[in-house]
Structure 1
Amino acid sequence: MSHQTLSLEQTKPFRHKVTAAWLSLVLGALGAHGWYLGRRYWYVPLVFSGLAILGGIVLQQGLDSLFPNLLILPVSAGILEAVILALRSPQNFDAIYNPQSDQHNQHGWPSVLTAVVSTVAFANISLFWLVHIIMAFYRYMGWLDLSVY
């Protein structure tokens, strides 16, 4: 009886590499991929994102305040980790996240397409945030007012 209990506690679910990469791409700012992979501090991006959103709500300064712009950090980290997870070798991924499993991840088109989509998403979101931060700086400096010229 106690032997069965020990074997059930040691059995961990099989973790798919592509699933982890898509969770990181879509919900990386909330730490969903870390929770799926069983990481110890998976909630750190969730706390950081929550504080940034809460700071924006409390200060009520809109998108020009510092707090909403801090969301670029967990969002970018999640997208970059999606690329890393998608392109990581299946043997390396299984050695870290599926050490005692009989199943193995495969490296194929789903991994490559996930990496491509993640790279395009990172480029678009990074450019959007860069333009947004520059425009907020220009508004703060008064360079967008017509009275300056």
Structure 2
Amino acid sequence: MTQAQASSPLSAVSARRPRDKVAVGLLACLLGVVGAHWWYLGRRHAWLVTAFAAVSLFCAVRFYPVWYDNPAFFLLFIPMIDGFIESAVYSLMSDEKFDRICNPGQGKVSATGWGPVLVAILACLVGAIVSMFAIAMVVVYVWVAMGWLDGYVL
């Protein structure tokens, strides 16, 4: 192989390992709050999601005595819920579309089985539970802040 062939962009793309639907789905479901699936997919602004999560966690731990009962912690629900949605979307995406978006220039490398389906089910179940918890926490936080729960023992 000549120097020109080794440095061509096409050879760099073909030398990269193909991305897996199950890996993308699990990273989005379990670590989507810090943008792990964005890093895995090589998205351009993945560092913004990670920095947002780090700043929110820092503010939650540093400035509030109860870290889980403050607005900075509530902001973490945004990338977390986005991770659950993206987990289901990437897991249930057709193989052709997934390879075209995530594995360009590598041909057909994905072969869907039960793995992506199970990851999508996990994402929907955990995402629904976390979303309901987030909504409940925000409602209770607002009601306490407005004094609507004065006299009630939670």
TM-score above 0.5: yes
Partner of 2:111: 106
SS at match of 2:7: helix
- Are the equivalent residues in 2 in contact too, given 1:86–1:114 (CA < 8 A)? yes
Indicate the percent of aligned positions where both proteins have the same amino acid. 30
The answer to whether the Cα contact below 8 Å between 2:56 and 2:76 also exists between their aligned partners in 1 is: yes
Unaligned runs of 5+ in 1: none
Counterpart Cα distance in 2 of 1:38 and 1:64: 33
Q: Point out 4+ residue stretches in structure 1 off by more than 6 angstroms.
A: none
C-alpha separation in 1, matches of 2:33 and 2:69: 20
After the TM superposition, which residues 47-126 of structure 1 pair with which residues of structure 2 at under 5 Å, given as runs? 47-62=51-66, 63-102=68-107, 104-126=109-131
Structure 2 match to 1:9: 12
Asked if the contact 1:14/1:103 (under 8 Å) is kept, the reply is: no
Letter in 2 for 1:144: L
Q: List runs of 5+ in structure 2 lacking aligned partners.
A: none
Write the distance in 2 (CA, Å) between the matches of 1:61 and 1:68.
Answer: 12
Alpha-carbon distance in structure 2 between the residues aligned to 1:84 and 1:91: 14
Report how many aligned residue pairs link the two structures: 147
- State the match for 1:35 in structure 2: 39
Aligned mates of 2:4, 2:83 — CA distance in 1 = 39
- Aligned CA RMSD, in angstroms, stands at 1.8
> Is the deviation greater in 98-107 or in 113-122?
98-107
